[in-house]
Amino acid sequence: MARQSISFTKPNDEWLKSQVDSQEYSSKSELVNDLVRQARKQQAQIDWIRAKLEKAEKSGFTSDGKDEILKQSKALLNGSL
């Protein structure tokens, strides 16, 4: 595992400490790694949505209603399709 040295602003450091103190996480490192995982997952979803929007813009119109489009999108995001 790569070891890093990072600095936090006082409010961010206090928040990190409070999360560890509340036993939500066992260490600041665990918390920061979890936040990075969440950010990576969110970025992957944003990239997926952006790619789908670009593809849709190039493909033209659809006869599917908004409910069906939303259902399909959620299923794809959750890996169900």
Local confidence pLDDT in tens for the 81 residues of the chain: 888 899 999 999 999 999 999 999 999 999 999 999 999 999 999 999 899 888 888 887 778 888 998 898 888 888 765
* CA atoms of 77 and 17, how far apart (whole Å): 33
pTM of the model: 0.64
Q: What is the largest CA-CA distance in the chain?
A: 53
* CA atoms of 9 and 15, how far apart (whole Å): 10
Residue corresponding to tokens 């260490």: 27
What local confidence, expressed as pLDDT, does residue 51 receive? Answer: 92
**Number of neighbouring beta carbons within 10 Å of residue 67:** 8
What local confidence, expressed as pLDDT, does residue 7 receive? Answer: 96
What local confidence, expressed as pLDDT, does residue 73 receive? Answer: 84
What local confidence, expressed as pLDDT, does residue 76 receive? Answer: 82
